[in-house]
Structure 1
């Protein structure tokens, strides 16, 4: 009954097998391995983007920080949701790597709204040389509230940013889960709706530790490569990153793993609703239910692991995250203990 995070799950067997295989013999270092060339081909095929470039790193924080630094000058503002991962969970790494300022945009259920973004854009960069300038937009999908942007919602936000000449970033730590939840294609969720650079998640969805920075504008590729090296995120034995990503993208594994996580999230959410818990919109694998006082102690005594969240008086709230390895038995045990 481990629902604290999809980070707490292990790596999928296919990923581990790929790493073991990559350990055989010798291979070129620093990203010149044959598997990395195949990863680039796979990304271009999957995203229907023949000019796309991908660079691999080991963590989502590195992917986000390098993507932002490559697209936003140090005098620029990065417009993001006030509860975005880059704002609350990355120890100022995006600011450190870019020198930019995060401008936090409000919005219910983890989503920036067009009105909220319009206000932020209109009130930033109006004091000339004395103030921060408009820099870029960063969205998160799946959001930190467990909700999901549709391609149409992303397009409405990127259009506002593009009208100001701003590039747009998508933090896709749970990108596969968002695709499964919406039925969108990778292209429909990214470059076709105005996304210039994607942090393409793998670690939360069954990889041991690999994330991709996918650039749909190849003119930025060399700068990102330099920033990755300068920031200490270029692996010498890069083949172990490449092997994970190649296996992840092969035969639809990445989408199957996400589908399992989402299905278990939906099973858990429905089971809690059936037991009179309040479960806000949560179409992917992350839930924020609240329920009557007393369930926390009972669940934890039964061995359930998850995060308690602040709740109104007389209620309890939790964050529950299903992973690729969550089973129906795990969900049903939690519901029985509830």
Structure 2
């Protein structure tokens, strides 16, 4: 019962096979290979637009390089106050941007609200040399609360960013899960809504180690080859990244894997919501479930072998936040999470038994 992270999952078989096949091919170095070229072409089809694509090995590098394409050292990048780029990347965005300030903006359910962004920008007026200047807006998709920004929500925030002279970045570590959950076209969730740069994550969704920095605005891509090299993310055997991305995208595997993870999360959420003494802290819109449970119950779950993380947040509604003797925990499903694993935890939680044939796909 491992619900600690989708990073704990293995590599999807088609991707592992593609890596092995690419190992038997002599190919040009540093990403000049056919695997990478085909992956780039497929991304252009999926996003309905030609874009500059730079493959890297980690999500931290993808996010930090994306922000480096948008924010100068004397500028500020605005994000949700609990976003990965501000809380979980050890200052990498500041390092890769050579000093840009990362500014957190509060918001319920993990989302920045337009009014909150306007208020935050007011504290960084244009033209004051003593103040970091607005440079970028970063949106997490899915959010740190496992929720989804819809295209209209993205467009509203992007319009504010544009009016302030900022570019827009999307941290898409779980972008595939949101596409699968909402049914929205990738283009509608990104450049058509005003996103300039996307960090597209494959690692959490079946890849070994592969992320893509997709720069939709060609004016913002010019320095990226040098920034990526300087960051140590231009792999000499770049075909191994290209092979992963090509296989991940082939026959919509990326969406199939995300649908599996999302379906497991829905089954888990529905069962936990019906269990006595438990409540969901956020809407379940991707593959993360945040539940508030009595501490004694969580101790029993762990004693039975369940793995998950305690979670602290200011993003939950007060009536859903933990009270005395309770803790919020995060449960993450992956493409490998099976019904038996979910049902074992639900049994521990005392959830009503459910027919295995009742799953919604």
Name the CA distance, whole Å, in 2 between partners of 1:229 and 1:37: 18
The alpha carbon displacement at 1:127 in A equals: 6.3
Alignment correspondent of 1:179: 179
The alpha carbon displacement at 1:232 in A equals: 0.9
TM-score by length of 2: 0.91
The alpha carbon displacement at 1:281 in A equals: 0.9
Alignment correspondent of 1:100: 100
TM-score by length of 1: 0.98
Alignment correspondent of 1:60: 59
Output one character per residue of 1:40-80: Cα deviation in whole Å (capped at 9) or x when no partner.
11010000002x11000000000000010111111111010
Alignment correspondent of 1:324: 335
| 1:13-162 correspondence to structure 2 within 5 Å | 13-50=13-50, 52-98=51-97, 99-126=99-126, 128-162=128-162
Output one character per residue of 1:256-290: Cα deviation in whole Å (capped at 9) or x when no partner.
00000011001000000111320121111111101
Alignment correspondent of 2:8: 8
Name the CA distance, whole Å, in 2 between partners of 1:15 and 1:4: 23
Q: Are the equivalent residues in 1 in contact too, given 2:6–2:333 (CA < 8 A)?
A: yes
Output one character per residue of 1:214-246: Cα deviation in whole Å (capped at 9) or x when no partner.
010123333111100011111000011100000
- Alignment of 1:336 with 2:347, yes or no, is yes
Name the CA distance, whole Å, in 2 between partners of 1:184 and 1:272: 27
Alignment correspondent of 2:279: 278
Identify unmatched segments of 5+ residues in structure 2.
Answer: 313-321, 350-361
Aligned length: 337
- Report the 3-state secondary structure (helix = DSSP H, G, I; strand = E; otherwise coil) of the residue aligned with 1:269: helix
| 1:114-263 correspondence to structure 2 within 5 Å | 114-126=114-126, 128-263=128-263
Name the CA distance, whole Å, in 2 between partners of 1:85 and 1:317: 18
Task: Report which stretch shifted further, 112-121 or 218-227.
Answer: 218-227
Alignment correspondent of 1:308: 310
Segments ≥4 residues shifted beyond 4 Å: none
Name the CA distance, whole Å, in 2 between partners of 1:25 and 1:268: 43
- Report the 3-state secondary structure (helix = DSSP H, G, I; strand = E; otherwise coil) of the residue aligned with 1:320: strand
The alpha carbon displacement at 1:126 in A equals: 4.8
Name the CA distance, whole Å, in 2 between partners of 1:207 and 1:145: 23
Q: If each structure's helix is expressed as a fraction of its own residues, which one has the higher value?
A: 1
Closer, same or farther in 2 for the Cα pair 1:44/1:127, shift >3 Å? closer
Name the CA distance, whole Å, in 1 between partners of 2:296 and 2:180: 34
- Report the 3-state secondary structure (helix = DSSP H, G, I; strand = E; otherwise coil) of the residue aligned with 2:305: coil
Name the CA distance, whole Å, in 1 between partners of 2:126 and 2:195: 25
The alpha carbon displacement at 1:109 in A equals: 1.3
Output one character per residue of 1:10-53: Cα deviation in whole Å (capped at 9) or x when no partner.
01111100000011031111000001110111010000002x11
- Report the 3-state secondary structure (helix = DSSP H, G, I; strand = E; otherwise coil) of the residue aligned with 1:177: helix
Name the CA distance, whole Å, in 1 between partners of 2:208 and 2:232: 19
Name the CA distance, whole Å, in 2 between partners of 1:218 and 1:202: 23
Identify unmatched segments of 5+ residues in structure 1.
Answer: none
